């Protein structure tokens, strides 16, 4: 019971509670009102046997009355119905055995009624196990008495008491009333319980219907979000492609120092905006569970130098000392893993370290923690002397769109997605980030990652890369570009002119197919979102051309879209590779060289 009642309480309403089940409430009512019926019956029997001068029966009836009142008082103070039920059953059993063996020394209808009461009461109140126990506890002694009486071998030196017909009538009538009362109470409880179960079932069906609608709505919402991200990705990346691309072209044209400074600022700002867009898209990709980790060979020394090269310049611009330390034992090892995801993790950590450090140092350490025959465990640590993080905020900083405080967001900017992405990428690989931080002194982020060691030597790796980058000049490459955006067309023409390539332009996928029918090309750059015929459908139609030279032409997808399933769609449509806008010129050149060389 959750509520307290006074010791002097006699009301049933104060001992019933909404947190009790229908069946438990019925059991308490049965006891409460049953006590009154039994008390009246016992009092009537007491008066009857007293005037008949039946001493033992009078004492028994008196004791029963006192016990009944005590149990009733206990019920109205603390309604522990199970304990009270046990006490009543024990009392009824003792009274019944006492009547059979001592007082009456016979089995009559009253004895049978009491046994029936015990059986009903024990099963209804305490369940099957206790019901069997109390039933046998009453039945077996009575059967034993009947056997002894049948053999005429039962004898005690006490004369059995005899009661008149009135007492017998009172006893039989009271027992029947109690039996009927037990049945009525439990039947009513059972009926109400069935009604409640039916109501609950109907409510459950209704809830399931609402849940299905909610799931359907959530799926539609997710689809809308995906479509929105796809649209916004394309709309943001398309102008950014022009801004970054033109900045690269102008920087490649030997501008004046003042122009170069302005162009670098323009390119830096555009890249920052691109990084924010990429964070939002990449987090959506991770949350959708669409991240696939690659297993490619890479050299950790080269990777760390590429990651930290641009970051060192950022640190120097802020007057920070950038220190990169790589374990000498890792310099010539070829590892197998996903360098792109390692770059993403470390880039976010280092960017944060530089962002939140006004003066002092940035340390990036890469150590060999454990080396086996086929695998190696590497510890990556990024430490700074920045503003530090409150101990209470160490967990929340890894939540999406959350920074340590609103002041931090306003002062330093950012989306608050960087560390969330880092945490998710590590968790997907079964790894954990360790953070040590102190306000005003700085922070340290570290994690361990295990890599299989490649058998191929670093020298062989470098030799292969060198061969792939020293292919023949691109001046003779015949290229078809399917692109509907005039700014992007202008950008591509200017960029390709520096590689001595003069491309053929098609304003949509349908036009690209028409041009390809009457001419041969070494490679096609295919935009994905175009009017009339998009890049996916155009690529599938090209692959169905009867001329194997035309159907087998390499196709590189160029698109500002950056959703998690874009790569699968590209491969399914028959394209060979994918470059996301805005792209790096060297990345595009490498892919063109690779595909043209492969075909040649």
Q: Enumerate domains of the chain plus CATH numbers.
A: 22-163 (no CATH), 294-467 (3.30.565.10), 468-599 (3.40.50.2300)
In contact, 424 and 398? CB cutoff 8 Å: no
* pTM across the whole model: 0.45
- What pLDDT shows up at residue 379? 95
- What pLDDT shows up at residue 320? 92
d(C-alpha 588, C-alpha 488), whole Å: 14
Measured at the alpha carbon of residue 302, what is the angle toward residues 301 and 304, in degrees to the nearest 5?
65
Closest CA to 95 of 34, 149, 41: 41
Burial of 386 by CB count in 10 Å (0-12 exposed, 13-18 middle, 19+ buried)?
Answer: buried
Q: Reply yes or no: is the peptide bond before residue 582 cis, omega within 30 of 0.
A: yes
Chunk the chain into consecutive blocks of 10 residues (it has 600) and report each block's average pLDDT, rounded to whole numbers.
71 83 82 84 83 84 88 87 91 88 84 86 88 92 88 80 78 82 78 79 87 84 67 68 78 79 73 68 66 82 82 85 90 85 88 89 92 89 90 72 45 60 87 90 93 65 46 75 86 85 91 92 91 92 92 88 68 88 78 75
Closest CA to 592 of 477, 466, 476, 507: 477
Measured at the alpha carbon of residue 203, what is the angle toward residues 198 and 204, in degrees to the nearest 5?
95
H/E stretch holding 594 reads: helix 585-599
SS3 574: coil
């Amino acid at each position: 019971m959750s509520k307290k009642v006074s010791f002097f309480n006699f009301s049933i309403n104060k001992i019933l509670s909404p947190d009790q089940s229908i069946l438990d409430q019925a059991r308490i009512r049965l006891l409460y009102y049953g006590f009154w019926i039994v008390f009246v019956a016992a009092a009537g029997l007491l008066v009857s046997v007293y005037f008949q001068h039946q001493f033992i029966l009078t004492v028994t009836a008196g004791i029963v009355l006192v016990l009944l009142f005590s149990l009733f008082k206990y019920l109205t103070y603390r309604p522990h119905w199970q304990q009270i039920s046990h006490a009543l059953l024990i009392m009824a059993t003792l009274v019944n055995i006492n009547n059979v063996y001592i007082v009456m020394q016979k089995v009559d209808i009253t004895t049978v009624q009491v046994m029936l009461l015990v059986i009903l009461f024990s099963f209804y109140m305490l369940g099957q196990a206790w019901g069997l126990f109390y039933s046998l506890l009453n039945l077996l002694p009575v059967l034993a008495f009947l056997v002894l009486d049948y053999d005429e071998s039962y004898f005690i030196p006490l004369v059995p008491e005899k009661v008149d017909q009135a007492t017998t009538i009172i006893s039989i009538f009271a027992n029947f009333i109690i039996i009927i009362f037990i049945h009525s109470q439990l039947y009513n409880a059972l009926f109400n319980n069935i009604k409640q179960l039916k109501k609950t079932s109907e409510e459950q069906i209704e809830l399931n219907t609402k849940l299905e609608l909610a799931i359907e709505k959530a799926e539609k919402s997710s689809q809308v979000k995906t479509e929105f991200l796809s649209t916004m990705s394309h709309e943001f990346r398309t102008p950014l492609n022009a801004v970054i691309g033109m900045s690269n072209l102008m920087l490649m044209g030997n501008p004046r120092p003042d122009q170069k400074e302005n162009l670098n600022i323009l390119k830096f700002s555009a890249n920052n905006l691109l990084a924010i867009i990429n964070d939002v898209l990449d987090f959506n990709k991770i949350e959708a569970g669409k991240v696939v980790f690659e297993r490619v060979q890479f050299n950790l020394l080269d990777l760390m130098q590429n990651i930290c090269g641009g970051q060192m310049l950022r640190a120097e611009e802020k007057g920070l000392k950038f220190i990169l330390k790589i374990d000498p034992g890792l310099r010539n090892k070829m590892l197998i893993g996903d360098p792109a995801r390692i770059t993403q993790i470390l880039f976010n950590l280092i960017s944060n370290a530089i962002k939140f450090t006004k003066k002092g140092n940035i340390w990036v350490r890469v150590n060999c923690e454990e080396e086996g025959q086929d695998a190696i465990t590497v510890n990556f640590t990024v430490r700074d002397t920045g503003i530090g993080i409150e101990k209470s905020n160490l967990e929340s900083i890894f939540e999406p769109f959350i920074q340590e405080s609103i002041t931090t967001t306003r002062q330093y900017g950012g989306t608050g997605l960087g560390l969330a992405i880092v945490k998710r990428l590590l968790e997907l690989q079964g790894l954990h980030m360790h953070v040590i931080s102190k306000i005003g002194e700085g922070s340290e982020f570290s994690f361990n990652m295990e890599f299989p060691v490649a058998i191929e030597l670093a020298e062989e790796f470098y030799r292969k890369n060198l061969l792939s980058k020293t292919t023949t000049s691109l001046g003779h490459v015949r290229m078809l570009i399917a692109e509907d955006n005039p700014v992007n067309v202008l950008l591509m023409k200017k960029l390709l002119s520096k590689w001595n390539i003069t491309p053929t332009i098609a304003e949509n996928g349908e036009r690209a197919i028409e041009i390809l029918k009457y001419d041969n090309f070494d490679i096609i750059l295919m935009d994905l979102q175009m009017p009339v015929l998009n890049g996916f459908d155009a690529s599938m139609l090209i692959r169905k051309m009867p001329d194997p030279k035309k159907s087998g032409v390499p196709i590189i997808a160029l698109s500002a879209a950056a959703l998690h399933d874009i790569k699968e769609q590209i491969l399914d449509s028959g394209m060979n590779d994918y470059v996301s806008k805005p792209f790096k010129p060297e990345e595009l050149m490498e892919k063109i060289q690779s595909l043209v060389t492969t075909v040649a």
